[in-house]
Structure 1
Amino acid sequence: MDRKTVEPMTVLYATQELTIPEVGRYAEKYLPELMAQAKQRDLKVVGPWVFISYQLPKNGKDRYRVEFCLPIAPADNPVAGAFPIKSLGQFSCAFVPYHGGLRQLFSQGYQPLVRDMVAAKMAFTGESREVYHAWNGPNSPDNRVEIQFGVA
């Protein structure tokens, strides 16, 4: 586990109240739509996908808010579209890199990070992020996802 501060970024995004098992299905829906909107609105993509969770539950049944974010270059007068644009502020976090399929994301990614944060007596902010540096499908061992938990 390491700590860092993520710099502010501008994102084109979609938001949804979901359960953990629903995230993949909605990602498959929103990601192509967001990419099409970026192209249609002539927005420059400047980073990997970021999924932001607010009050991530400890089970697969409780609903929570998820934002599917596509980092874009700030635009002076962006054309309006189906998805909003917003600026994310600085984000102080504890993080770990995770390599592999989604089946082990929680057991080999999230759980060790949370355990280390609890042991270090870090205060969670309730915001967590997944940054998709490389995505090759849900079962691919070549996926690279950075897991970030906000710290106060």
Structure 2
Amino acid sequence: MQIRQAQASDAAGIAEIYNDAVLNTTAIWNDATVDEADRAAWIAGRQGSGFPVLVAVDGDEVVGYATYGDFRPHDGFRHTVEHSVYVRGDQRGSGIGRQLMMHLVNAARENGVHVMVAAIESGNTGSLRLHEKLGFVETGRMPEVGTKFGRWLDLVLLQLMLDGPR
């Protein structure tokens, strides 16, 4: 497995992982799926804004991806980012998410990020445990702020303090 910056040619694999999460999990609180063109534009937009989009590839197959972006649009939050990490369904639990996160945290440090935020559905114990093992600490819980599959969802906020500007 290799972890590298995403390219437009990775858009189909990223879309497949994203759509599986939309249709089958509460990891993404969207109802609509996306196509390859949407994800290609998304990759270009993220990278054009200076944010990393990392992919884990096994041969030619995308098996996971991770990125971060603005936490909030206001100037005062310029040193804080919110991130996402997703792994293909048949690869979850294999350590790919951890590897992607370690690369993403390193990228954040190199880019002077001060705080990384994770917003995770409270029932996603695998993701919560992964983040805790990487040093993220829970800083808040927001009951019933989202809905999917006909039920209310709670959001857990975690953060990791980095070495960025003080």
- TM-score, with length taken from structure 1: 0.26
- The structure that is strand-richer by fraction is 1
Higher relative contact order (CA 8 A, sep 6+): 1
